[in-house]
């Protein structure tokens, strides 16, 4: 591998401006994530954090008016969501959507085929699923239920973590994955994310609270406000925000 490739960011956002229904929400976001790094984005409600996550995944409601999104050096700004997923970009939603009538097993197999390519053999799929279900403390009976239909918040988040592990993304964006989790569910989900870290996989964790970062240790923490990153620092910045809030950050 050349020096240029070694120094190439896994994921990069350059001067990103985004409008939603004609209103500018993101106002020049700049972010660079190197391979293996964990970045946390923290900020008040209504500052544009979820807009950022949906824009990164290619939701058509969010219009990029300026700037670029790069994954492994490739400009993916104009790509639809499915093409971004095939390039191994993954988004865990704050509120995972229920899909009545589609079983969890069918959804997972179809997702793996679409993103990873090729048909997954039934025996191989069953073996892989059993192993991952055990690690996430998910009952096997979940596989026959409709996707997220009637699931608790914790169950939905565990299933998203299962998808994450099966799809093997290069860049993982977690939009308030800790939202709605009780203490035990938070620990299980967070520890499995921590154990899934690698030198080839990078993370952008969007959260309000320090609690998830107690398990998934960030390399860099960003304070988000008024549609852009206002300040960046090490893991101790998250602790300061937890203790003091956002009032001390200009523009937050």
Task: For residue range 28-76, list pLDDT tens digits in order.
Answer: 999 999 999 999 999 998 899 999 999 999 999 999 999 999 999 999 9
Residue 6 has pLDDT above 70, yes or no: no
Q: CA angle 23-24-27, nearest 5°?
A: 170
Contact 136/188 with Cβ under 8 angstroms? yes
Residue 43: both structure tokens together: 């900020």
- pLDDT category, 2, cuts 50, 70, 90? very low
Contact 33/9 with Cβ under 8 angstroms? yes
Burial class of 145 by CB neighbour count within 10 A (0 to 12, 13 to 18, 19+):
middle
Q: What is the model's pTM? A: 0.90
CATH 3.40.50.300 is the classification of domain 3-96+170-244: yes
Residue 109 has pLDDT above 50, yes or no: yes
Residue-level pLDDT at 70:
98
Contact 233/54 with Cβ under 8 angstroms? no
Largest CA distance in the chain: 56
Contact 73/32 with Cβ under 8 angstroms? no
Residue 5 has pLDDT above 70, yes or no: no
């Amino acid at each position: 591998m050349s020096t240029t490739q070694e120094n190439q960011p896994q994921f990069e956002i350059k001067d990103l401006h985004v409008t939603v229904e004609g209103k500018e929400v993101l106002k020049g976001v700049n972010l660079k994530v190197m391979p293996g790094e964990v970045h946390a984005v923290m900020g008040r409600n209504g500052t544009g954090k979820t807009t950022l996550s949906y824009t990164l995944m290619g939701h058509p409601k969010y219009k990029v008016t300026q700037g670029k999104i790069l994954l492994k050096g490739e400009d993916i700004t104009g790509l639809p969501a499915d093409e971004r997923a095939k390039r191994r970009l993954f988004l865990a939603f704050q509120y995972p959507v229920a899909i009545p009538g589609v079983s969890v097993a069918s959804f997972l197999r179809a997702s793996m085929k679409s993103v990873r390519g090729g048909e997954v053999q039934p025996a191989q799929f069953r073996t892989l699923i059993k192993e991952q279900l055990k690690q996430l403390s998910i009952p096997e009976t979940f596989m026959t239920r409709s996707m997220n239909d009637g699931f608790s918040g914790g169950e939905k988040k565990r299933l998203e973590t299962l998808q994450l592990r099966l799809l093997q993304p290069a860049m993982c964006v977690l939009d308030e994955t800790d939202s709605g989790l009780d203490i035990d569910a938070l620990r299980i989900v967070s520890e499995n994310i921590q154990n899934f870290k690698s030198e080839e996989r990078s993370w952008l964790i969007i959260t309000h609270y320090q609690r998830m970062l107690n398990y998934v240790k960030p390399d860099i923490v960003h304070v988000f406000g008024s549609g852009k990153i206002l300040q960046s620092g090490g893991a101790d910045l998250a602790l300061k925000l937890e203790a003091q809030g956002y009032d001390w950050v200009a523009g937050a």
